[in-house]
Amino acid sequence: MLLAGEAEHAELRDAIGLLRETSFLTEAGRADQAVAALEHRPQPEVIVLAQSRPGVVPPRTLERLRRLAPLAGIVSLLGSWCEGQARAWRPAAGEHRLYWYEFPSWWARQLAYCRAGRCPDWARMEGARSQEPGARQKGGLTSEPTPRNSRGLIAISTSQMEVFAALADVLLQQGFASAWQSPGKPVTLHGATAGVWEGGQLDDCEADRLAAFCRQLVCDGAPVVTLLDFPRRDRCQRAREAGAVAVLGKPWLSADLVYTLEQLVRRHETGDLAAAPARAA
């Protein structure tokens, strides 16, 4: 695997740290240095381009990388300044884009595919997967479905019934039952396997509600996943301080949400901290 771009940017450092821990990683520095590196070494399976803002990796440099390594998957790891329609730009052929807060769940799922001998997203044929970070569905899986498992009951806290219905539909396909919990009100069910809390930018009021939801579910030992609108780094930290185990951005990728819940439930049931991850080339 080859990494280029802003590898030391504060917003991207957790994702980069995860790559360093779980992959055989070569770091090339700037994107133009990656071009030089490819001219003198075997082609990598994946090229990761770390970019805090649009334009860090110029289109002409990306095209040169594509020509030098035509079989490599290209993953653009994006910072928060890359969000929004006003800052959007068309992806290059074969480019897979992920915001920094999406990357950990997505990467864990790709490693699971590799361990199982399945095709990771970066190696799929063009058109077989969504390429835009914002191209998400709130109902139905947008990637290969995870194996069906009967995992129990998921408590879902959201103010919008449409969101609950979309989440419940996705979870039902994977063997989870769901129960709606009104935000700000005491959790009325017991025995939940996990919880999903949906909010916005996690202001003071939302943070209090999330903390109350987490406290009530923790009594049953149930981990909580939080869904936030384009979360910033400080919002993710605030969610974890409130008791959430994982934070995903909205719009979410359903396959990543399901995979995250399945892993948290498995760890809770077995008391296992998870096996050592596979390493990507």
| Range 151-174 burial, b when 16+ CB lie within 10 A, else e | bbbbbbbbeeeebbbbbbebbebb
pLDDT at 186: 72
Q: What is the C-alpha to C-alpha distance for residues 99 and 78, in angstroms, rounded to an integer?
A: 5
Q: What is the C-alpha to C-alpha distance for residues 237 and 4, in angstroms, rounded to an integer?
A: 26
- Identify the residue with better confidence: 76 or 268: 76
Cα torsion 254, 257, 263, 269: sign:
negative
Domains of the chain: 2-123 (3.40.50), 152-270 (3.40.50.2300)
pLDDT at 84: 61
CA 190 from centroid of its chain's CA atoms: 29
pLDDT per position as a tens digit, 193-214? 899 999 999 999 999 999 999 9
- Identify the residue with better confidence: 246 or 90: 246
CA 58 from centroid of its chain's CA atoms: 25
pLDDT per position as a tens digit, 126-149? 544 444 444 444 433 333 333 344
pLDDT at 280: 53
pLDDT at 21 over 70: yes
pLDDT at 88: 53
pLDDT (average), residues 48-66: 85
pLDDT at 137: 41
pLDDT at 91: 62
Question: Does the model's pTM come out above 0.75?
Answer: no
pLDDT at 243: 93
pLDDT at 128: 45
pLDDT at 224: 94
Instruction: Please report which confidence band the pLDDT of residue 240 belongs to, taking 50, 70 and 90 as the band edges.
Output: very high
- The count of C-alpha atoms lying within 13 angstroms of the C-alpha of 3, restricted to the half-sphere facing its C-beta, is 21
pLDDT at 150: 55
Q: At what angle do helices 31-38 and 59-68 cross, to 10 degrees?
A: 20
* Mean pLDDT score across all residues of the chain: 79
pLDDT per position as a tens digit, 102-115? 888 899 889 888 88
